[in-house]
Structure 1
Amino acid sequence: MRAFTCLSLLAMQISLIYSAYPQIYSRCRFWDSGCLARQIQINVPSLISGIKELGAEVLDPMRIDYSRIDIAGLKMDISNAIVRGYGAAVVDRASVDPISRELYLVYHTDLTMDSQYNAEGSVLGLPISGDGNMRVVAKNVQIEALLPFDIVNDARGRAVIELKGIQYRLNFKDNVRFDLSNLFYGNKGLSDAMHQYVNSNWKAVADTYSRPIFDIAQDKLFKVLRSYLLTQPLDNIFNFFK
């Protein structure tokens, strides 16, 4: 009876490990972009929640210790940032080009960032200063990513995908709202005027100044996806014969 109980517990532990690890449910043909998009979508929760076996960090919520914006007159230090929303990403398109060896991925999601900030300089030409807390809520952010890759052999001699880098474009489609405490160090009149200005020009502000934060976020996502694909033989992902 005791041996049966131990075997049952071991089976449960193995089941829990594999349920948390991203799985390939259906092999795709190289040209079947719909199949590939579905497989990526199925694995989004597991990839984002952190894969302990690979030492991958949790990406929702995503922690960004520090980022520096020094663009178009604005100098802003962002620290202790928490970004939420990648776990709810919807995969719009995905494709693989085996000739040029590029993975193309388009997805969208709503993102929220809470952080501390210190700012000086100007935003779209208007002076700004302040030191406090910041919240940014971005609705329907579309990210288009191109990831070149090589095909290499792993330690067991299996062919796997090794991602080499990431290039991406952002499209803030619906709305971005900015809320900064202690803007102009408590001057309510100046703070209200700046909030009105940046939130009325949300797309220009997001397009101009968001890249440093997204560079860090995309690098974190890239590292997790790269580590995962290195564990997956090509034969597990693609059907070469049908």
Structure 2
Amino acid sequence: MRAVVYSLLFAMQISFIYSSNPQIYSRCKFWDSGCLARQIQINVPSLVSGISKLGTEVLDPMRIDHGVIDLAGLKMDLTNAVIRGYGSAVVDRASVDPISRYLYLVYHTDITIDSAYNAGGRLLGAPIVGDGNIRIVAKNVLIEAHLPFDIVNDARGRAVIELKGIQYRLNFKDNVRFDLSNLFHGNKGLSDSMHHFINSNWRVVSDTYSRPIFDIAQEKLLNVLRSYLLTQPLENMFNFFN
């Protein structure tokens, strides 16, 4: 009986190890965007959970020690931020341009950000001050990313993709909700008025001030994708002959 239990535990451990690493399930043609999107979608859970053998960081929940928003009159420091939602991303489109050497990726997801904050200045022209916690819930955020790459040889001489950077566009498709504790140092009347103002203008607030935090998040995503693709020979991912 004990031998059976040990055998089951061993099998479960092996299954966990392999399921924690991204897998190539079928090769795609360069021009087959549907196949590419499906392959990326299959690997989303393992990519965002951290790839143990590569030492990549976890992307959901994603942790950001410190970020600064200093735009359009607003100065806000965010510390110990936690971003959730990348693990639920839905890949809408994906394609590879082997001539221009760009990977094109479009996906959408709901994003939640929890962080400590310290803010001062003006938000869309309205004075704001506060020091507390902030929660941002963004529904249906669409991210369109262009990732330039080179093709290099790995240590074994195999051709692999090396991502060189990321450019992206954000589209907040649905509602974004902002909740900030201790606005105006606890003045409820001013806090209620500012919350009504911010949440009534959620789209312009999001478009105006969100970029610095998403820059950090996209850089983390780039680092994980770069590390992963450097381990995947092109011949394992793409069908070049038919």
Q: Please state which band the TM-score falls in when normalised by the shorter chain.
A: over 0.9
Calculate the TM-score normalised by the size of structure 1.
0.96
The number of equivalent residue pairs is: 242
Q: Counterpart of 2:175?
A: 175
- Residue by residue, what CA displacement relative to the aligned partner does 1:22-60 show, whole Å, maximum 9, x if unpaired? 001010000000000000000000000111110111111
The alpha-carbon distance between structure 1 residues 64 and 154, as it changes in their structure 2 partners (threshold 3 A), is same
Report the alpha carbon displacement of residue 20 of structure 1 after superposing the two structures with TM. Answer: 1.2
Matches within 5 A, 1:148-227: 148-227=148-227
Matches within 5 A, 1:67-216: 67-216=67-216
Q: Counterpart of 2:63?
A: 63
The alpha-carbon distance between structure 1 residues 120 and 15, as it changes in their structure 2 partners (threshold 3 A), is same
Letter in structure 2 aligned against 1:201? N
Percent of matched pairs sharing the same residue = 79
**Aligned mates of 1:24, 1:156 — CA distance in 2:** 19
Letter in structure 1 aligned against 2:188? K
Letter in structure 1 aligned against 2:114? D
Letter in structure 2 aligned against 1:25? Y
- Residue by residue, what CA displacement relative to the aligned partner does 1:66-124 show, whole Å, maximum 9, x if unpaired? 00010000000000111111000000000000000000000000000110000000100
Calculate the TM-score normalised by the size of structure 2.
0.96
**Aligned mates of 1:6, 1:82 — CA distance in 2:** 38
Q: Counterpart of 1:53?
A: 53
Does the residue aligned with 2:175 lie in a helix, a strand or coil?
strand
**Aligned mates of 1:38, 1:61 — CA distance in 2:** 23
Report the alpha carbon displacement of residue 19 of structure 1 after superposing the two structures with TM. Answer: 1.6
The alpha-carbon distance between structure 1 residues 5 and 156, as it changes in their structure 2 partners (threshold 3 A), is farther
Report the alpha carbon displacement of residue 14 of structure 1 after superposing the two structures with TM. Answer: 3.9
Check whether the contact 2:20–2:52 (CA below 8 A) recurs between aligned residues: no
Report the alpha carbon displacement of residue 16 of structure 1 after superposing the two structures with TM. Answer: 2.7
